[in-house]
């Protein structure tokens, strides 16, 4: 269960299946998208539910609203 906040695309995507989703990179995190905190382009955060993901998004990137991933979120 992972939340990706991506500033360049202005999206916050909640992946209920986390690492099992084809749209979650492995390894997780890049130079500019950090794990557990925001980098230049965004970040990856643990989130148990979509409500958790939305709470994290409103804290880290208030202009965005988290959406469920279309691939692993049903």
Which spans of this chain sit near Zn ion (rule: CB under 5 A)? 15, 21, 23, 69, 71-72
* Minimum CB distance to Zn ion, residue 25 (Å): 11
Cα distance between residue 67 and residue 37, in whole Å: 19
Cα distance between residue 36 and residue 38, in whole Å: 7
**Tokens 């979120």 sit at which residue?**
73
17 - beta bridge partners?
none
Nearer to Zn ion, 5 or 72 (CB): 72
* Minimum CB distance to Zn ion, residue 34 (Å): 19
Nearer to Zn ion, 25 or 71 (CB): 71
């Amino acid at each position: 269960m992972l939340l990706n906040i991506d500033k360049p695309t202005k999206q916050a995507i909640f992946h209920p299946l986390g690492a099992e989703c084809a749209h979650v990179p492995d390894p997780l995190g890049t130079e500019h998208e950090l794990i557990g905190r925001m980098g230049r382009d965004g970040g990856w955060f643990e989130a148990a539910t979509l409500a958790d993901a939305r709470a994290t998004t409103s804290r880290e990137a208030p202009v965005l609203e988290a959406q469920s991933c279309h691939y692993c979120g049903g």
